[in-house]
Amino acid sequence: MTKKGFTSALDMPDVPMGKLPDHLEVQRTRVVCKADAPINTEGIQYSGSYATMGIDNSTPLERFRKNFKVEVIRLTEDEMEFDMIGIDAAIANAFRRILISEVPTMAIERVFMVDNTSPIVDEVLAHRLGLTPLDADPRLFEYMSGHDVANERNTIVFKLHVSCKKGSPRLTVKSDQLEWLPDGSKLHEVAPSLPGEQQKTYTSFSGSQMEVSKKPLGVMHKDITIARLGPGQTIELEAHAVKGIGKVHAKWSPVATAWYRMLPEVVFLKEVKGEEAVQLVDKCKQGVFDIEDLGNGERRAFVKNPRACTLCRECLRGVSEDPVELRRVRDHFIFTIESAAAVPPEVLFTEAVKILEEKCERVISELS
């Protein structure tokens, strides 16, 4: 005698061992969304949940290697959409968190103000500069610790010197006015104590930074407004960019966004024909459904683009009997990366994979 709510293979003699009945297979592999309930990812995840049916609900390494796939759907200069198939939500979320907070990038960290008579106070101006995305590959640079000296391998120096002459109209200061200094800082840290002594600057470059980067360094977007100057106002400063990660400050996050969703699956529970089919198509503004001609004047609704489903559930509202069932595939994730740095989105994902691999190796080494 089995407990209430538990189904055993003995209770279903018509179901062969090693195969689940349809309703249990949907429960195991899908998330079903009803019209009156929010979506959730809860389910029976225990590895021995279906042991009496001859089903192994765990994910052994060999099965993971066989089933795991990455399929690129769309790739542009700044955005990438791809499918990750055969993984758990925890792994997908690990990639998302690593992309946001642990993949390094370059951002302005220190600002040396020489003159600022603009309406923007020094702290706000420095904050704006820090959030300006830089066109610099972080893989070419090293991290800078508290005891390191700023050099061509860990610091990028920019100069900004703009003035609005008296009697002139207001001047808008754009990000493209940041001038890269490949030879390092030009500001003198201290005055020379002896005649003829070389003046010390805030960086110690041994050579030109052109040897580190084969292309000029600058900003990603040329038209970002930094400030607006009135007649007689001036901004003169030097900004130093260093390598960092997003969990220290959001300015080092290399992505504008990184998000995922489970693959939508729309299943008809009955045939929807005639005027009912037209109403169903009109309800969905995402173009999930369309109408096909069956001949003899009959028309039937079918699922045209299930990926476009946003789970708005308009197709389930206002009907006495649900015409369709909205599902999500538990181990199939649609992942989107929007890069905000100089690194392309496909490279960002590769770097995230390397970071996750390093974390796993560190855990294994500590356990052993």
pLDDT at 2: 44
Sequence-distant (≥ 6) Cβ neighbours of residue 333 within 8 angstroms: 83, 84, 85, 87, 89, 92, 260, 261, 262, 263
pLDDT at 41: 53
Sequence-distant (≥ 6) Cβ neighbours of residue 188 within 8 angstroms: 199, 200, 201
% of the chain surpassing 70 pLDDT:
90
- Picking from 101, 107, 105, 109, the residue whose alpha carbon sits closest to that of residue 139 is 105
pLDDT at 40: 56
Residues (pLDDT < 50) of the chain are: 1-10, 12
pTM of the model: 0.85
Distance CA 244, CA 127 (A): 15
pLDDT at 7: 46
pLDDT at 37: 64
pLDDT at 4: 44
pLDDT at 319: 84
Tokens linked to 108: 């302005």
pLDDT at 320: 80
pLDDT at 64: 87
pLDDT at 5: 46
Sequence-distant (≥ 6) Cβ neighbours of residue 240 within 8 angstroms: 108, 109, 110, 111, 112, 150, 155, 156, 157, 158, 185, 202, 203
Q: Strand 324-339 relative to strand 30-33: parallel, antiparallel, unpaired?
A: antiparallel
Distance CA 19, CA 9 (A): 10
CB burial of 21-31 (b: ≥16 within 10 Å; e: otherwise) equals eeebebbbebb
Q: What one-letter code names the amino acid at 257?
A: T
